């Protein structure tokens, strides 16, 4: 597709098939997707499954990226792995046209029950994202890519070092014609935390994440999410990126990625 005709969404749905658009393109290779959209696509299907968000709150999402996800039609498999009245474990797999498993997602859902004395961590205030200058990555190789589908605002720190804080939001929906869940918006962005808070010199090293995990103590709200990021690279080429995540109401989650750090 050309820039003029590209659908303004990460995916188009055709029955049980999800067709990625150019907005899923990642920074390492334009033939393959960024990890955020597939992670969100699977987690969103699991969050809606069965009684969905009315009864269950998503407490944990673990995404495992087994191989690069091409810009090609994909299918989703969903199953309930177990649980009872208070906790439920679900699994989803993203498959290519040949049936190969590309990405898997495991979600832990916990039953909702009113809590009169809820508590939250009072994080230091950040500047309002709308009053903060835009920030753009310059390492995406194609004009229609993940980088064009998200908006970033630097809240604190200097890019290229950590700790660093970014406000981020998506500017296209996950699936065309479908209102995205705030959880989906958060996970699209969470996979970029190692790019927002790089652990090493981006010009000398690559740092691909084979997984991502998110823990949440409440439902996300809105479209702006703040990532307070710390990242590192160990002596054996294994790195870690981790974030305290907030929305406009306050902190709500922790996210983390393992990183495979290699010289270019």
pLDDT tens string 203-237 = 899 999 999 999 999 999 999 999 999 999 999 99
- Is position 2 within any domain? no
Average pLDDT over all residues of the chain: 94
Question: If pLDDT is split at 50, 70 and 90, which confidence band does 202 have?
Answer: confident
- Is position 117 within any domain? no
Q: CATH number, domain at 176?
A: 2.40.160.210
Residue 100 has pLDDT above 60, yes or no: yes
- Is position 122 within any domain? no
- Is position 121 within any domain? no
Mean per-residue pLDDT, 72-80: 97
Tell me if 34 sits within 8 A of 146, measured CB to CB. Answer: yes
- Is position 119 within any domain? no
Range of the domain at 154: 11-112+127-263
Tell me if 47 sits within 8 A of 40, measured CB to CB. Answer: no
Beta strands in the chain (DSSP E): 11-14, 17-20, 56-65, 74-83, 87-95, 101-111, 134-135, 150-156, 164-170, 205-208, 211-216, 225-233, 238-247, 250-263
The pLDDT, as a whole number, for residue 2 is: 42
- Is position 85 within any domain? yes
The pLDDT, as a whole number, for residue 53 is: 87
Mean per-residue pLDDT, 59-85: 96
Which pLDDT tens digit goes with each residue over 27-39? Answer: 888 899 999 999 9
Domain count, the chain: 1
Mean per-residue pLDDT, 70-76: 98
Beta bridge partner(s), residue 250: 247
The pLDDT, as a whole number, for residue 142 is: 82
Q: How many CB atoms are located within 10 Å of the residue 42 CB?
A: 27
- Is position 40 within any domain? yes
Residue 253 has pLDDT above 70, yes or no: yes
The whole-angstrom separation of Cα 36 and Cα 26 is 9
Residue 1 has pLDDT above 50, yes or no: no
Please give the structure tokens belonging to residue 252: 């709500």
The whole-angstrom separation of Cα 211 and Cα 155 is 26
Q: How many CB atoms are located within 10 Å of the residue 18 CB?
A: 21
Which pLDDT tens digit goes with each residue over 137-188? Answer: 877 778 899 999 999 999 999 999 999 999 999 999 999 999 999 999 999 9
Residue 14 has pLDDT above 80, yes or no: yes
- Is position 5 within any domain? no
The pLDDT, as a whole number, for residue 3 is: 46
Q: What angle do CA 18, 19, 23 make, to 5 degrees?
A: 120
Mean per-residue pLDDT, 59-65: 99
The whole-angstrom separation of Cα 175 and Cα 137 is 24
């Amino acid at each position: 597709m050309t820039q003029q005709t590209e659908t303004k969404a990460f995916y188009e749905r055709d029955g049980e098939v999800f067709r990625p658009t150019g907005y899923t393109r990642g920074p390492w290779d334009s033939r393959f997707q960024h990890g955020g959209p597939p992670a969100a696509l699977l987690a969103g299907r699991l969050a809606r499954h069965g009684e969905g968000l009315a009864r269950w709150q998503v407490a944990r999402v673990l995404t495992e990226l087994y191989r690069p996800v091409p810009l090609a039609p994909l299918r989703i498999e969903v199953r309930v792995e177990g649980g009872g009245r208070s906790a439920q474990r679900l699994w989803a797999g993203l498959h290519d046209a040949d049936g190969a498993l590309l990405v898997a997602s495991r979600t832990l859902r916990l039953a909702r029950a009113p809590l009169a004395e809820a508590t939250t961590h009072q994080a230091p205030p950040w500047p309002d994202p709308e009053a903060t200058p835009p920030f753009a990555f310059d390492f995406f190789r194609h004009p229609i890519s993940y980088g064009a589908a998200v908006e970033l605002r630097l809240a604190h720190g200097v890019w290229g070092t950590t700790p660093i804080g970014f406000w981020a939001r998506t500017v296209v929906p996950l699936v065309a014609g479908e209102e995205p869940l705030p959880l989906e918006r958060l996970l699209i962005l969470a996979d970029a935390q190692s790019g927002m808070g790089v652990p090493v010199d981006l010009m000398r090293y690559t740092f691909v994440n084979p997984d991502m995990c998110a823990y949440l103590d409440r439902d996300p709200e809105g479209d702006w999410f703040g990532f307070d990021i710390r990242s590192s690279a160990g002596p054996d080429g294994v790195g870690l990126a981790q974030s305290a995540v907030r929305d406009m109401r306050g902190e709500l989650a922790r996210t983390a990625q393992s990183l495979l750090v290699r010289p270019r």
